Structure 1
Amino acid sequence: MDNLYLLFYKRGYKPFIHRWGEESPFIPTEEELDQLIAGCGRKTSTLLLFLKETGARIGEALRLKWIDVDFQRRVVRITAEKGSKPRILPISLRLVEMLNSLPGKAEHVFPSRRSSYIASFLNQRRRLTAKLNNPRLMKITFHTLRHWKGTMEYHRAKDILHVKEVLGHKETP
């Protein structure tokens, strides 16, 4: 497992580790996110759009089951991860169409192991960064999409409690 971590780390994977007193997280533009999503393969782009629209953690996304997706109502039920609350969130028609294009034979929407999504994302991100000559794309991680969603929700609603609910944060004791 350590060797796999080192391999991904050398390829640019930086796991989210919160450090007190650090500067604000990097928030890309929506155009940059859309360029990255458009430039990735079908499974990776669907995962990235899911993370962008829902603000879900990568673990929550990878645990998503087909029974958690309501295609008629265009909502998904996010199963709670440790330290978060379950929630039902709207998704766009575009995401519904992308989800429908995925093979639905497995129980999970994104059935591969986390490491395969990380490797695929890192390779595609590096390729797009060079192709578009935009080094800012290298700063985008799965968790960046969660920060982006929280920031956009706050700008839209101006209500931090709303953002807390969307992102699934539990009450503090």
Structure 2
Amino acid sequence: MRQDISAFQSCRLSPLESEIDQLIACFGSKMATLLQLLKETGIRLGEAVRIKWQDIDFQSGVIRITPEKGSNPRVLKLSGKLLQMLNNIRRNAETGNVFPSKSCIEAYYYRKRKQIAAKLCNPRLLQISFHTFRHWKATMEYAKTKDILHVMKILGHKSIQNTLVYTQLIDFKSDEYVCKTAENAREASKLVEGGFEYVCTTPEGIMLFRKRK
């Protein structure tokens, strides 16, 4: 999980949704489907390449995510657009996997991304890594809900501390907060004295506080 945090900390670009959509549109069907999946769900690339066709329930419109080590399994809703994209890609009967190996995907993505950035004259696209999609999803969900536990569930984190790393690095244009945690009454008292307001207590017993910037 530390690797997940480090990857996020190095991913400081907050791309526009239009830039993400432009990038997706320039790829072939299978890669475009993968990127749309990352955008909609915020799953890691390592989780995406483990997905098998049996993990997708087209009737209910959901996907079951088998987690990487240190994360929680989860079932996530997919849009009609993404379900159609998945239906249109060729299936690998031998492996049952929806997508190719991680190494193949990475090599192709970074090569093609360079070509797309040059074609669209937008160097910002060169900064959009696979983890940027996870960053973007976390940003959008927290901006929309202001619910740290909701974001924690989507990302599959077992510890609220890992999710807080995301919210602390997000630069909102409005309704900006600094988030802090307390594990005991003494720490909580100090935060209250410092102007922080209590938000909730996680199932792990960690108290969450926030203060406007």
For the superposition of Structure 1 and Structure 2, which TM-score range results when normalised by the shorter chain?
A: 0.7 to 0.9
Query: Which residue in the other structure is 1:39 paired with?
Result: 26
Alignment of 1:116-127 (within 5 A): 116-127=104-115
Match of 2:119 among 117, 131, 151: 131
* Consecutive unaligned residues in structure 1, runs of 5 or more: 1-14
Q: 1:78 to 1:16 in 2, by over 3 A?
A: closer
The alpha carbon displacement at 1:83 in A equals 1.0
The alpha carbon displacement at 1:135 in A equals 0.5
Q: 1:80 to 1:23 in 2, by over 3 A?
A: closer
> Identity of counterpart residues, as a percentage?
51
Match of 1:29 among 2, 7, 16: 16
Give CA deviations for 1:55-109 in whole Å, capped at 9, x if unaligned.
Answer: 0000100000111101111110111211110001111111101111111224111
Alignment of 1:1-173 (within 5 A): 18=6, 25-104=12-91, 105=93, 106-110=95-99, 112-171=100-159
Q: 1:161 to 1:16 in 2, by over 3 A?
A: closer
Q: Stretches of 4+ moved more than 6 A in 1?
A: none
- Code of the residue aligned with 1:140 in structure 2: it is I
The structure showing larger relative contact order (alpha-carbon pairs under 8 Å, at least 6 residues apart) is 1
- Code of the residue aligned with 2:90 in structure 1: it is P
Q: 1:90 to 1:24 in 2, by over 3 A?
A: same
User: What is the alpha-carbon distance in structure 1 between the residues aligned to residue 7 and residue 36 of structure 2?
Assistant: 27
SS in 1 for 2:70: coil
Would you tell me which structure has more strand in proportion to its own residues?
A: 2
Greater C-alpha Rg: 2
RMSD over aligned Cα, in angstroms? 2.1
Q: 1:132 to 1:24 in 2, by over 3 A?
A: closer
The alpha carbon displacement at 1:41 in A equals 1.2
* Consecutive unaligned residues in structure 2, runs of 5 or more: 161-203, 205-213
Q: 1:140 to 1:75 in 2, by over 3 A?
A: same
User: What is the alpha-carbon distance in structure 2 between the residues aligned to residue 24 and residue 32 of structure 1?
Assistant: 16
Report how many residues are paired: 157
The alpha carbon displacement at 1:25 in A equals 2.2
